[in-house]
Amino acid sequence: MANWFTFALSISTIATLFFIKSYIDPMIKKRCRIPIPYDLFVMIIGTIVSYVVNLNSRFGVKIVGHIPTGLPSPSLPGISLFGYIMGDALAIAVVSFVVTVSMGKLFAKKHNYEIDVRQEFYAMGFMQIFCSAFPVWPASTALARTLVYEAAGTKTQLATVFSSILLLAVIFFIGPFIEVLPVCFLSCIIIVALKGMFMHSKVVEIGRLSHSEGKTYFQPIEKYRDAAIRDGVVCVRFSAPLVYINAEHFRKGVESIVELPALERR
């Protein structure tokens, strides 16, 4: 059964965060270059409100609950389990690597830089070896966390150092203080951060200017004479599944097409 108080709390939090990040934050950035951690403020306010009003007992709002303190002792995994988990481990490794590299390439393209896939492969391998000594989940990228970092203006791995220190502080000291934090506040932060993943946010705006340009599909101009042709724009169809094996070949092919004169491209 849905909790309508949690629903109303989530809607109001999402609307507030969206309004602040979309309209207030751009104006603040013009005068202040220091990024403001709005998400952290939401967590602090949510924790205080939950503690004062007692949202869990009075309104049934789900909270984070007990957070154990301290780090588990490292231990070697049981060798006898290798035969049972080898297939699942291989599948998890492949999926983790593919998702991590995909996210890396997405943000590399957005911020105009390159990533070394081989270096990412080595890094993930060493991380998995280290994680195997602790009772933790396999290391991989986190879509929501990556988007939150990107929205906060993170540029280097130095941000991970500070987040790791904060995480250790939570594990050893701060954990009991945020046990009353409503889970819906964390969900709202993730939902607002995912806004950057929607690539078609400009479709309505473009559609008002031109019905042809506002469409999200393309067809060969030989068959569709009413299709608009724009100078400096080349649409390429790749007649094969685009995977990591042929991604480099596809990229070089597109670059060779773009370098041709405009008459030949058509």
CA–CA distances in Å: residue 243 to residues 99, 234, 250:
12, 21, 10
DSSP assignment letter at 36: P
Which residues does 197 contact at the CB level (< 8 Å), separation at least 6?
Answer: 143, 147
190 and 61 in one domain?
Answer: yes
102 and 56 in one domain?
Answer: no
131 and 4 in one domain?
Answer: no
Which residues does 77 contact at the CB level (< 8 Å), separation at least 6?
Answer: 132, 133
18 and 77 in one domain?
Answer: no
Per-residue pLDDT of the chain (266 residues; tens, 9 = 90+): 778 899 999 999 999 999 998 888 888 888 887 778 888 899 899 999 999 999 998 888 999 988 877 777 888 877 888 888 888 888 888 888 888 888 888 888 888 888 888 888 898 889 888 888 888 888 888 777 787 777 777 777 787 888 888 888 888 888 888 889 999 998 998 888 777 666 555 556 656 655 555 555 666 767 776 666 667 777 777 777 787 667 777 887 887 777 655 444 44
104 and 48 in one domain?
Answer: no
56 and 5 in one domain?
Answer: yes
Q: Residue 97 domain-assigned? A: yes
Q: Residue 147 domain-assigned? A: no
Q: Are 99 and 141 in contact (CB under 8 A)?
A: yes
40 and 96 in one domain?
Answer: no
C-alpha torsion 154→158→163→166, nearest 10: -130
Q: Residue 96 domain-assigned? A: yes
Give the per-residue pLDDT at 210: 56
Structural domain span for residue 95: 69-141
Beta bridge partners of 63: 182
> Domain end: 141, 158, 190, which one?
141
Q: Residue 264 domain-assigned? A: no
126 and 93 in one domain?
Answer: yes
Give the per-residue pLDDT at 265: 41
What domain count does the chain have?
3
59 and 187 in one domain?
Answer: yes
> Domain end: 117, 141, 165, which one?
141
